[in-house]
Amino acid sequence: MTRSYAGNLMSLLAVRHIPQPYQSLRDVLDDTIKLIIHKDDANTVYYTNAKSGIFREMGDLMNTDRMVRQKSYEIEDSVDKLVRRGTHILMDVEFNVINMMAKDFSKTGRCDFYYSRSIYLPYILAMTGQKNSPLIPGLNKM
């Protein structure tokens, strides 16, 4: 029992704690933090066309100073300068966020960021194949 307690205590003290105040889109909308999103991507169109609900609220933020819309090549620099400072959050699809976090970890040797448990942006990806290809049934299953 003592060894288990000591091991748990040691691991808690050894790992750096990063507060995680934003676990859902509602948490973000209820706060005053600024959001960084991609400029003119499919999700932007989705927010502006939503008629009601939480995504309509995102659309309402589009023309305020809380919403920072940037091109893809500008975002990585903003993550380093704005998100790291704690004044902004990045809202992007999961694989982009994980990629940026991995690059930052490789560069700094520290894990300064987290992503929320909630996933709210759809993956807008597709695979295509030649008509009547034997690969199509396998792609359709996926």
In a domain, 74, yes or no: yes
In a domain, 10, yes or no: no
Q: What is the pLDDT of residues 28-87, one digit of tens each?
A: 889 889 999 888 787 788 888 888 888 889 889 888 999 999 898 898 888 888 998 888
In terms of residue numbers, what domain contains 87? 18-141
Structurally, the chain folds into a number of domains equal to 1
The H or E element containing residue 38 is strand 34-38
pLDDT at 96: 83
The H or E element containing residue 2 is helix 2-14
CA distances from 19 to 1, 47, 58, 88, 96 (A): 29, 28, 24, 14, 21
Which residue, among 34, 28, 11, has the nearest Cα to 81 in the 3D structure? 34
Give the domain CATH number at 46: 3.40.190.10
In a domain, 49, yes or no: yes
pLDDT of residue 109 exceeding 80, the answer is: yes
pLDDT at 34: 92
In angstroms, rounded to a whole number, what is the distance separating the alpha carbons of residues 14 and 93? 30
